[in-house]
Chains A and B, each alone.
Chain A
Amino acid sequence: DQQVKQNSPSLSVQEGRISILNCDYTNSMFDYFLWYKKYPAEGPTFLISISSIKDKNEDGRFTVFLNKSAKHLSLHIVPSQPGDSAVYFCAGGLYNFNKFYFGSGTKLNVKP
């Protein structure tokens, strides 16, 4: 049973517009969430994280929103750039255990 789910396998967005990637989790105990970006033939790279004590964390063009009651988080990329085209994984877990469960990924394609 997947504890973290990304229900959209792919997303296509025009350059300059907003990209919104969604992620749902089932374990209400999770208190830490991360987003990773993965290019083909490379390992995932850390993008941004959020603790459950916050509902928003921003880093440049990337903002992660957390809705604990809905067990939902989203990653917003504004403005989207062609170089953002990659697979994005969200992960959730327990901060003190450093053990995280990953979603299946969403492939983002930003069209020039």
Chain B
Amino acid sequence: KAGVTQTPRYLIKTRGQQVTLSCSPISGHRSVSWYQQTPGQGLQFLFEYFSETQRNKGNFPGRFSGRQFSNSRSEMNVSTLELGDSALYLCASSLEAGPGETQYFGPGTRLLVL
């Protein structure tokens, strides 16, 4: 079974631009979560989607948004990019959104904002 895939793997943008990242979960998984990883901050939870609905949201500004499609694929959008948005963005999928579901992570998209 194929793992979680994320595209693109690397991205360079300039301040003020916007970016869209894509995540394809493991086949059959219906929950997708997004995380931001920066040096020294660890993984910070962005949001979780299940059945096209946002279930949970972390403490990020409204510039960060996401959506999930009927096939469970998810996209994350960051508008008006700032230098501090440079990070590794990880997506994770799980079968359900229920308690304690094991999450399987993708390799991440590394975003550099210049």
Contacts and interface: CB of A to CB of B under 8 A. Distances in A.
Nearest to A101: B45
A43 B42 contact: no
Interface in A34-80: 36, 41-46, 49, 51
Contact of A43 (B4, B55, B101): B4
Given A97-B56, A98-B100, A98-B101, A44 B43 contact: yes
Contacts of A44: 43, 90, 92, 105
A104 B43 CA distance: 7
Contact of B56 (A42, A89, A99): A99
Contacts, number: 63
B60 to A, nearest CB: 13
A43 B107 contact: yes
Interface residues of A, number: 26
B80 interface: no
Contact of B98 (A42, A49, A98): A98
A98 B45 contact: no
Contact of B45 (A42, A46, A99): A99
Interface residues of B, number: 28
Interface string B28-62: 00010001000011111100100000011010000
Given A95-B99, A96-B99, A98-B98, A45 B105 contact: yes
B99 A98 contact: yes
20 contacts: A6-B42, A32-B99, A32-B100, A36-B105, A43-B4, A43-B92, A44-B43, A44-B90, A44-B105, A89-B43, A91-B43, A96-B99, A98-B31, A98-B55, A98-B94, A98-B97, A99-B48, A100-B45, A101-B45, A102-B43
Instruction: For the complex of A and B, list the 10 residue pairs with the smallest distance between their C-beta atoms, beginning with the closest.
Output: A43-B105, A102-B43, A104-B42, A102-B42, A44-B105, A95-B99, A99-B56, A43-B106, A46-B102, A43-B107
Interface of B: 4, 31, 35, 40-45, 48, 55-56, 58, 90, 92, 94, 97-108
